[in-house]
Amino acid sequence: MEQAKVWKEKVVIPTYEIGEPEKNPMFIDKRVYQGSTGKVYPYPTIEKISDTKADKEYEAVYLENQYIKVMVLPELGGRIQRAYDKTNGYDFVYYNHVIKPALVGLTGPWISGGIEFNWPQHHRPSTFLPVDCQLKEYEDGSRSVLLNDVDRINGTKGLLEIRVYPGKAYIEIRGQLYNRTALPQTFLWWANPAVPVNEHTQSVFPPDVYAVMDHGKRDVSRFPIATGVYYKHDYGEGVDISRYKNIPVPTSYMAAKSEYDFVGGYDYGKKAGILHVADHHISPGKKQWTWGCGDFGKAWDRNLTDEDGAYIELMTGVYTDNQPDFTWLKPLEEKTFRQYFMPYKDIGYIKNATLHAAVNLYVTEGRVHLGVYATENYKNAKITVKNKGGLLLEEVLDLSPRAAYKKEIEAGGAKEEDISILVEGEGRVLVSYQARERKIEKLPEPAQAAKEPEEIMTNEELYLTGLHIEQYRHATYLPDPYYLEGLKRDPMDSRINTAYGSLLLRRGNFTEAEKHFERAVKRLTCKNPNPYNSEAYYYLGLSLLLQNRDKEAREAFYKATWTSEQQEMSFYYLGVLAAKQKDYENAFICLEKSLVKNSHNIKARGIKAAVLRKLGRQMEVKEWREQNLLLDPFDYISRYEAFLAEEDKNSLETMNRLMRESEENYLLAARDYGEAGFYEEAVGMLRKCKEQKPLLKYYEGYYLGQLGQAEEALEVIRAAERCCPDYTFPNNLEDISVLQYAIACNTKGPKAYYYLGDLYYDKLQFSQAKALWEKSAQLDNTFPTVFRNLSLVYYNKFTEYEKAKEALEKAFALDKKDARVFLELDQLYKKLGMSAKDRLLRFEEFKDTFSERDDLCVEYVTLLNRNGRYQEACEYMSGRRFHPWEGGEGKITAQYTISLLELAKAEIKAENYGQARSYLERILVYPENLGEGKLEGTRDNHAFYYLGVVYEKTGDRQRAEECYGRATLGDADPAGMMYYNDQPADMILYQGLAFLKLGNPSEAVSRFYKLIDYGEKHLFDQVRIEYFAVSLPDFLIFEDDLTLKNKAHCCFLIGLGNIGLGNIEQAKSYLEKALELDKNHQSCMLFKKNINELIVNSCHNF
């Protein structure tokens, strides 16, 4: 049989380039992204997308056999860009012919199409970044590409292998996830294939899926026929949501449960589709996402492609069934899995699939319809169909991926659940299916938000709630209050002391963490010295190790080895501690014991290779290195060991090529060496990187210091101070000792203080960050970023607002081209009450600076509108293409609507009704350059109300009543305003005013009182971001007081209700109260300005 092929090839793809990464560190504490934290530090963000397309060359990897051809782009996260079925010319994943990023990813740019591989969270940080890459050939004729990436936020490593076999029409995905840190980490894995969709496509979920759930399991719907409200859309008539054409709004749904191993999609027009197959015991995740088939979705399609149209995502989760749904990966633990993606054809909505074959079976009009598709050639395969009454069909034939088997046979009066099909080949079952009797299933209950700590009855529940918040990386809830409430009730609780200690350890607060571990040990050993679980001892050892108290750490680690759970990690650290003492025999023994429990511990395997070299066991070490590289070709310690042992320049060149001159790769390897006291090797590794980056130099200086070379260490540390600081964002716990050493050696070096401040701020150690940044600023008052950072800590953590303003003004004065700092300074001015007029003057002074960013351009338009310059706002918007963040839509379209509405009102006042109508009709459709489409369900009550006024003024009563009628539509119940798809409260006022115009005052008054009732009922609510929030993508740095904003919103609603009722004094009073609470409440300003005109049309005159 012909072998599969793998090769690299330069390809040219039309590309819309992205902007430069943001050089300021992004500390975003409460950004919500895909239902969990939107934290990006230490990654830089990119928020600019070009509107110009140009050809760009990429190095692609191709995999091919007789049936399929696959294209992979290692430069863009290692995604599969194209998967093509050669037998029928069908792209079985959505093939986007352009690289057209939009602001969807965690750090910004994201592209549609292909298969994206997401871990440790969805739309992973490196989805648009290069990854390490190597090709591989197997003796069985299969070929693969291996892709390696280490997540910089939490330190987990993902090794992905994409493999194609000769004669098999599927892609194999082998995942190898490894926690190379000393602390437990969490992850989810979602492979994200995009699938082209149209009027004829359908998502293929297993037959036992009767319920689907939203993000965080916060909502549930029947499936495939939805019958209620889901994503604020009413499917009350019963709608098949497995079909793209039936979903008008952006929608996610995930199978609540299934015992089948497949999910897929099918195009009835092209008679072809895609299937994913994986063991549902570890791959339960089955999800569909769509932008929706409405105007809103079409706008996002345009944002992401030029000509390839709409798509959905059919995501497949491993060790996860929801987003967010994270699984623990313990220290140094590995988890592995396999997934398969395959095309299929001709047989429609299948009922079951395996790696070998897929089958469809259904009964209509007394006939059984059969379809079988095989993923490879099977000679003399046998198909057996039975019903309860006996054999219906037995047929022997050849199966092939080139053509499906289809047949109709008489059902003999049997029901579908009476019939079974069995497909066998080469002595095994290829696929089978037996329909189940349909019955009414109880829908699962939606998840419940965490209670407040004081409301939780037991310490165990407090512990589990805190742990859940950690595990699910909650964006706006911290675990601390739950742990602290538990410790308040029982200060010695071993579970909570261990959990809270590990949380403090993760944040770099080693001394406080140590105290909690000591308390846990004390409670655990109150009856005997040998606890059932030694986790507290392990963490105690770790806290001591990170304080460089090696002797005490060794004692704790040894005690931790007394129970099974912590043996592999404790023996690993005992091994590296022995190696630091140059006791290589004992190091070898401990590392061997570590590997007994966890033979795939890559760090232990690499350090064992170094230890074997030190012991002079040359033959053994060579074989060991080769085994390591079979397990992980990106084990750079083993590759460097090969160079050290044999002075093999080829192995060094291979290592450097695989490492891609990536600073992070060299730092990771050097840290592993340094952890075990191999300082010379660590220095050598760092010097192999050609990049001149601060952390490379600081680490080199630190290791030279450990070698006793103090003068050379100081020289290197001073060189680190001179390096460009852009994009240097330390966040590893090991960085703390290195930067503290740099400060101790070179007390007048400002940058080490600055970098350590960054790290501590990221770890929520705000007092330390503040002190370090202040020291850095004192030593160097010319570095803008340290002043910018000080403004954040002053404002957000210490309520020192004047100092925050002074610091940020200083930062901008030092670099007036920094658009990010201009944005933050303007937001600070806004919070501190600077007038819209003065803010607009600053924008006009720094036009070149703010034009770099869409969010600043939106703010500029907002200020034009607030200053009554509506025509200029319209003209400015028409001359720029905007790029919204996913989930952050609605900002520019709101300003577009405001400017046109206010222009229309002015024309009505001037009796220029034709021009007024033109402005109002433009509100109903968003121009493409805004980057957004009209969300289905948007009612535009204001526009229709004023269109009614226009027609009424021109004597066209019939059309006026039609418009007033449309102005009455929509939800009449007010709500808070947090998401882009929340209905603005003033739409309810316009409903009421329209009812008055239609002579229905009772309906009108009910609307007005609903506004007042909501405002009065919720005026004193304590508000925080919703527990199950999915997407709040704003990168705004300064924290909002949501309770204060809610109070302003409620006063605004009471004011609106009183406008409708004609109570002018009460209306003015409440609108003024709202503006006292929120000086930037734009809607409130507009209604206050227009109050007299609105009162004329209120209940006051009815």
Residue among 444, 449, 447, 448 at smallest CA distance from 221? 444
pLDDT confidence tier of residue 1035, bands split at 50, 70 and 90: low
Stretch among 418-427, 935-944, 1093-1102 having the lowest mean pLDDT: 1093-1102
Per-residue pLDDT tens digits for 1015-1024:
999 999 998 8
- What does the block give as tokens for 957? 């009563």
Mean pLDDT confidence for 371-400: 95
State whether 363 and 340 are in the same domain: no
Side chain identity, residue 934: K
**Mean pLDDT along residues 63-89:** 99
Question: Looking at residue 1083, which CATH number applies to its domain?
Answer: 1.25.40
Please answer whether residues 907 and 913 qualify as being in contact, where contact means their C-beta atoms are separated by less than 8 angstroms. yes
Q: How high is the pLDDT of residue 1026?
A: 83
Can you give the pLDDT at residue 828? 97
Q: Is 272 helix (H, G, I), strand (E, B) or coil?
A: strand
Amino acid at 825: L
Based on the fold, state whether residues 1012 and 1080 are members of the same structural domain. yes
One-letter identity of residue 152? R
Q: Which of 307, 326, 344 is the last residue of a domain?
A: 344
Are the CB atoms for 1100 and 1092 separated by under 8 Å? no
CA distances from residue 758 to 507, 769, 773 in whole angstroms, order as listed: 12, 7, 8
Angle, to 10 degrees, between the axis of helix 1064-1077 and the axis of helix 1082-1089?
150
- In this structure, the answer to whether residues 484 and 388 fall within a common structural domain is no
Residues 256 and 289 in one domain: yes
What pLDDT is attached to residue 115? 99
DSSP helix/strand/coil, 279: coil
Q: 299 and 409, same structural domain?
A: no
Confidence check: pLDDT of 1102 > 60: no
Residue with tokens 């001159």: 661
Task: Give the distance, in angstroms, between the CA of residue 400 and the centroid of all CA atoms in the same chain.
Answer: 40
Residue 615 lies in a domain: no
Residue type, 397: L
Per cent of the chain over pLDDT 70 is 99
- Domain assignment present for residue 170? The answer is yes
Say how many Å lie between the first and final Cα of the chain, rounded. 87
Packed helices 510-524 and 494-506: angle between N→C axes, nearest 10 degrees: 160
Residues 322 and 263 in one domain: yes
Q: Which two tokens stand for residue 27?
A: 């500390």
Closest CA relative to residue 843, chosen from 787, 832, 1081, 829: 829
Per-residue confidence band for 1072, with pLDDT thresholds at 50, 70 and 90: very high
- Predicted local distance difference test score (pLDDT) of residue 637: 98
pLDDT(1100) > 70 = no
- How far apart (Å, rounded) are the C-alpha atoms in residues 826 and 859? 9
pLDDT of 1097 strictly over 80: no
**671 is written with which tokens?**
């840290």
Q: And the tokens for 1086? A: 């507009």
Q: Is residue 1019 in a domain?
A: yes
DSSP 3-state assignment of 833?
coil
Task: Report phi then psi at 814, rounded to 5.
Answer: -80, -20
pLDDT(467) > 90: yes
855 pLDDT exceeds 80? yes
Q: What are the residues facing 234 on neighbouring strands?
A: 229
Return d(Cα 444, Cα 221) in angstroms, integer: 9
3-state DSSP assignment of residue 360: strand
| Torsion angles phi and psi, residue 354, rounded to 5 | -130, 180
CATH of the domain at 88: 2.70.98.10
Helix runs in 1019-1063, H state only? 1042-1061
Q: Report the pLDDT value the prediction gives residue 439, as an integer from 0 to 100.
A: 84
- Determine phi and psi for 406, rounding to 5 degrees: -135, 145
Residues 130-135 have a mean pLDDT of 98
Residue 558 lies in a domain: yes
Q: How far is CA 111 from CA 97, 284, 306, 401, in A?
A: 11, 25, 12, 30
Overall size of the chain counted in residues: 1102
Of 435 and 516, more confident: 516
At residue 1056, the pLDDT reads 96
The whole-number pLDDT of residue 414 equals 83
Q: What tokens appear for 708 in the block?
A: 């006793």
Q: What confidence score (pLDDT) does residue 778 get?
A: 99
CA atoms within 13 A on the CB side of 487: 21
Token pair listed for 319: 């060790």
Answer whether residue 809 is part of any domain.
no
Residue range 820-849: average pLDDT?
97
Q: Are residues 259 and 287 in the same domain?
A: yes
The verdict on 366 and 494 lying in the same domain is no
Residue 426 shares a structural domain with residue 525: no
* 162: phi then psi, degrees, rounded to nearest 5: -105, 120
- Residue 657, CB-side half-sphere exposure with 13 Å CA sphere: 10
Domain assignment present for residue 214? The answer is no
pLDDT at 1028: 84
pLDDT averaged over every residue in the chain = 96
Question: Do 1092 and 1004 fall into the same domain?
Answer: yes
**Residue pair 1003/992 in contact by the 8 Å Cβ criterion:** yes
Categorize the per-residue pLDDT at 1033 as very low, low, confident or very high, splitting at 50, 70 and 90: low
| 3 state DSSP class of 537 | helix
Question: What distance in Å separates the CA atoms of residue 168 and residue 186, rounded to the nearest whole number?
Answer: 34
Chain-centre distance for alpha carbon 916: 43
How far apart CA 376 and CA 14 sit, in angstroms, is 35
Q: What is the pLDDT of residues 214-261, one digit of tens each?
A: 999 999 999 999 999 999 999 999 999 999 999 999 999 999 999 999
Chosen domain end from 727, 757, 772? 772
Cis before 224? omega within 30: yes
- pLDDT at residue 314 tops 80: yes
Given a contact cutoff of 8 angstroms between Cβ atoms, the answer to whether 50 and 17 are in contact is: yes
738 burial via Cβ count (<10 Å: 0-12, 13-18, 19+): buried
pTM score, whole prediction = 0.96
Q: How many CB atoms lie within 10 A of CB 724?
A: 10
The more confident residue out of 782 and 887 is 782
Strand partners of residue 172: 163, 340
The predicted pLDDT at position 600 comes to 96
Q: Are residues 167 and 303 in the same domain?
A: yes
Confidence at residue 1030, expressed as pLDDT on a 0 to 100 scale = 80
State mean pLDDT over 1009-1014.
Answer: 96
Integer Rg of the chain from CA: 32
Residues 590 and 608: their CA atoms lie apart, in Å, by 10
Concatenating the DSSP letter of every residue in 1069-1102 gives HHHHHHHHH-TT-HHHHHHHHTHHHHHHTSGGG-
List, in order, residues 6 or more apart from 124 with CB less than 8 Å away: 77, 106, 117, 118, 151
Both structure tokens of 501 = 């200690």
Residue in the block written with tokens 């006009």: 844
List the CATH number of the domain containing 417: 2.60.40.10
Nearest residue to 118 (alpha-carbon basis) of 341, 265, 110 = 110
Alpha carbon distance 62, 145 (integer Å)? 9
Residue 500 lies in a domain: yes
In the predicted structure, residue 1098 carries a pLDDT above the cut 80:
no
Last residue in a domain, options 293, 321, 344: 344
Q: Output b/e per residue, 345-366; b: 16+ Cβ within 10 A.
A: bbbbbbbbbbbbbbbbbebeee
Domain count, the chain: 5
On whether both 335 and 362 belong to a single domain, the answer is no
The mean pLDDT of 405-422, rounded to a whole number, is: 91
Residues 6+ away with beta carbon under 8 Å from 1099: 996, 1001, 1004, 1005, 1008, 1060, 1061, 1062
Convert the pLDDT of each residue in 95-117 to its tens digit: 999 999 999 999 999 999 999 99
The answer to whether 572 and 597 are in contact (CB under 8 A) is no
CATH number at residue 555: 1.25.40.10
Q: What does the alpha-carbon distance between residue 394 and residue 833 come to, in Å, rounded to a whole number?
A: 81
Residue 77 pLDDT exceeds 60? yes
Q: How many CB atoms lie within 10 A of CB 591?
A: 29
**pLDDT score of 388 more than 90:** no
Tokens for 413, please give them. Answer: 């009066």
Alpha-carbon distance of 532 to 107, in angstroms, equals 43
Joined together, the tokens standing for residue 904 give 């229309």
Name the most confidently modeled range: 384-388, 414-418, 649-653, 739-743.
Answer: 739-743
| pLDDT-wise least confident of 157-171, 437-451, 710-724 | 437-451
Phi–psi pair at 824, nearest 5 degrees:
-65, -40
Domain coverage including residue 404: 354-434
What are the φ/ψ torsions at residue 628 (nearest 5 degrees)? -60, -40
Q: How far is CA 459 from CA 482, 488, 504, 696, in A?
A: 9, 10, 19, 45
Closest CA to 1083 of 995, 987, 953, 999: 987
Sole residue written with tokens 């209306």? 1067
Domain contains 828: no
